[in-house]
């Protein structure tokens, strides 16, 4: 007498910002249980959000192109749909009758947060179990930050999930990918950006850990050295072509190797590795620390983290000042060079991002929200959790962080003293001596004439006086900080978001 086996059910894997095979727990879990339907949904309403750019979608398309090939190599297929996520998942459910939906947890923008709640309601209504698995160090749910660092470390120490040797597909063939035009999107405006794909993410990590990262700790600050000295993994982490756990573990392995080489006094070991790798590991913690803020309090994408600063800046920006910033004609070469570099490449280093937001929020007194939306579209590596938390930090509206106001002129002196970066992106200043590049408007008229560069004609005069504008900004923010409301709000913000390794009472 034979025993009948239960029929295997189709497993649906909803791909979002996890476009890889390595360390992909939802995919591996689904592959063990039955035929797999791997789905990516292009959502028109999401692509129409004010923080989304066609360069983001172009990068995703490149990632999906390689992912489809990699899936086919192990027997899988990629199903692509265009439409509302709930409607498309419902159509797929009616066809394939899957009873489990697998995905990674996502901490995206406010729109995706609302969409995920709608998917949860749908899954309950139709009886589909939605299994969301963490893919980094963001903990859901989290009451407060006590013990968060230990939880993050435990996540990073977990073994990497193996790629399935073989997968049974639920469909016969992968779907063709749409084009930007087919998605009603304009052409990709970033002519010199990084390209997407899992193999490229691995190449970038390999080159960083083997050669480029040796002076990371110092290289990260200058817009000249950062292009090669920074990891350049940020867009790959943002769209999940590599898992942060793999980056952490491979960096730890490289740290162990460096320690062994140092112990035996290997003459070929370059001296910068130890400090640079340690600094990079700190940035990986920082990555999840900031995303955790948005996970815990989604409203900070739209509202001041400390409500004591409501009304500090006008919510509607000055069109004149905002346009000058976006069009790279502020009269501050480092600011304008960064904007032009972003327009072409979608990337600048962290210090220059901080300076840019500082200039927008303090010198131009623009609200961080419209500035943040503009920069979200420019940043290829736009990660909402990091993006909005950092904008509020730089704008001085968290209530718990030190106020940092960057001098654009000083950043030239410190980070681009020979003007290499500035002259690359602002060729109209190519003949200006390095001594005048921090503040070209201070060149005597006879020097301008001799160089053939007239400030106010060939290159703009400063839109504001930095010293006066920054002084007014500091005074306005400090006035709020002294209020009782700001102090009580600061306590609340720190309890919920403050960085600490032990309980808050110990920090006090």
Residue 382: strand, helix, or coil: coil
Contact 245, 158 (CB under 8 A): yes
Cα of 358 vs its chain's centroid, Å = 18
DSSP 30: H
In tens digits, the chain (508 residues) has pLDDT values of 444 444 579 999 999 999 999 999 999 999 999 999 999 999 999 999 999 999 999 999 999 999 999 999 999 999 999 999 999 999 999 999 999 999 999 999 999 999 999 999 999 999 999 999 999 999 999 988 999 999 999 999 999 999 999 999 999 999 999 999 999 999 999 999 999 999 999 999 999 999 999 999 999 999 999 999 999 999 999 999 999 999 999 999 999 999 999 999 999 999 999 999 999 999 999 999 999 999 999 999 999 999 999 999 999 999 999 999 999 999 999 999 999 999 999 999 999 999 999 999 999 999 999 999 999 999 999 999 999 999 999 999 999 999 999 999 999 999 999 999 999 999 999 999 999 999 999 999 999 999 999 999 999 999 999 999 999 999 999 999 999 999 999 999 999 999 875 444 433 3
CA distance linking residue 463 with residue 469, whole number of Å: 11
CA distance linking residue 345 with residue 340, whole number of Å: 9
CA distance linking residue 248 with residue 502, whole number of Å: 22
Contact 321, 364 (CB under 8 A): yes
CA distance linking residue 337 with residue 330, whole number of Å: 10
CA distance linking residue 216 with residue 208, whole number of Å: 9
Fold of 11-135: Rossmann fold (3.40.50)
pLDDT value at position 7? 58
Looking at 1.10.3470, 3.40.50, 1.25.40, 1.10.10, the CATH number of the domain 198-296 comes to: 1.25.40
CA distance linking residue 111 with residue 103, whole number of Å: 17
Contact 412, 376 (CB under 8 A): no
- Structural domain 300-501, CATH architecture: Orthogonal Bundle (1.10)
pLDDT value at position 501? 57
Residue with token string 């990918």: 177
Kindly give, in sequence order, each residue whose CB lies less than 8 Å from that of residue 215, ignoring residues fewer than 6 positions away: 225, 229, 272, 276
Global pTM value: 0.96
Q: What are phi and psi of 41, to 5 degrees?
A: -115, 120
Q: What are phi and psi of 445, to 5 degrees?
A: -60, -35
pLDDT value at position 499? 85
Closest CA to 326 of 365, 378, 363: 378
Kindly give, in sequence order, each residue whose CB lies less than 8 Å from that of residue 8, ignoring residues fewer than 6 positions away: 33, 34, 35
Kindly give, in sequence order, each residue whose CB lies less than 8 Å from that of residue 216, ignoring residues fewer than 6 positions away: 208, 229, 230, 231, 272, 276, 277, 279, 280
Provide the residue ranges of all domains of the chain, joining segments of one domain with +: 11-135, 198-296, 300-501
């Amino acid at each position: 007498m034979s025993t009948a086996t239960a029929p295997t059910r189709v497993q649906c894997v909803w791909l979002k910002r996890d476009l890889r095979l390595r360390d992909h727990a939802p995919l591996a879990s689904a592959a063990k249980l039955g035929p797999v339907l791997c789905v990516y949904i292009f959502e028109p309403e999401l692509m129409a959000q004010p923080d989304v750019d066609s360069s983001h979608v172009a990068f995703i398309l490149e990632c999906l192109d390689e992912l489809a090939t990699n899936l086919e190599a192990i027997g899988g297929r990629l199903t692509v749909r265009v439409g509302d996520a709930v409607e498309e998942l419902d159509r797929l459910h009616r066809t394939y009758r899957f009873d489990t939906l697998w995905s990674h947890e996502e901490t995206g923008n406010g729109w995706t947060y609302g969409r995920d709640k709608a998917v949860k309601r749908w899954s309950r209504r139709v009886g589909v179990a939605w299994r969301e698995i963490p893919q980094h160090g963001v903990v859901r749910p989290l009451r407060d930050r006590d013990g968060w660092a230990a939880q993050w470390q435990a996540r990073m120490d977990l073994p990497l999930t193996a790629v399935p040797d073989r997968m049974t597909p639920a469909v016969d063939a992968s779907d063709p990918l749409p084009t930007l035009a087919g998605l009603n999107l304009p052409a990709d405006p970033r002519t010199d950006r990084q390209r997407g794909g899992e193999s490229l993410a691995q190449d970038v990590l390999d080159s960083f850990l083997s050669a480029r990262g040796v002076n990371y700790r110092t290289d990260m600050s200058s817009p000249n050295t950062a292009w090669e000295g920074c990891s350049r993994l940020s867009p790959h982490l943002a769209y999940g072509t590599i898992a942060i756990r793999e980056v952490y573990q491979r960096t730890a392995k490289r740290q162990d190797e460096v320690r062994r080489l140092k112990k035996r006094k290997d003459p070929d070991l370059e001296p910068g590795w130890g400090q640079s790798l340690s600094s990079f590991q700190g940035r990986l913690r920082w990555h999840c620390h900031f995303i955790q803020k948005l996970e815990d309090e989604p409203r900070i994408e739209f509202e001041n983290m400390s409500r004591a600063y409501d009304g500090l800046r006008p919510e509607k920006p000055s069109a004149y000042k905002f346009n000058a910033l976006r069009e790279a004609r502020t009269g501050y070469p480092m600011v304008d060079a960064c904007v032009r570099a972003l327009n072409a490449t979608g990337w600048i280093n962290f210090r220059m991002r901080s300076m840019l937001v500082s200039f927008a929020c303090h010198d131009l007194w623009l609200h961080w929200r419209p500035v943040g939306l503009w920069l979200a579209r420019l940043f290829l590596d736009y990660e909402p959790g990091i993006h909005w938390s950092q904008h509020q930090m730089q704008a001085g509206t968290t209530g718990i962080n030190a106020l940092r106001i960057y001098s654009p002129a000083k950043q030239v002196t410190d980070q681009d003293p020979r003007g290499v970066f500035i002259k690359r992106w602002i060729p109209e200043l190519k003949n200006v001596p390095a001594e005048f590049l921090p503040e070209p408007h201070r060149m005597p008229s006879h020097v301008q004439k001799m160089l053939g560069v007239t400030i106010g004609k060939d290159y703009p005069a400063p839109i504001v006086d930095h010293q006066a504008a920054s002084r007014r900004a500091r005074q306005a923010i400090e006035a709020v900080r002294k209020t009782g409301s700001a102090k009580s709000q600061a306590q609340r913000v720190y309890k919920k978001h403050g960085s600490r390794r032990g309980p808050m009472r110990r920090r006090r």
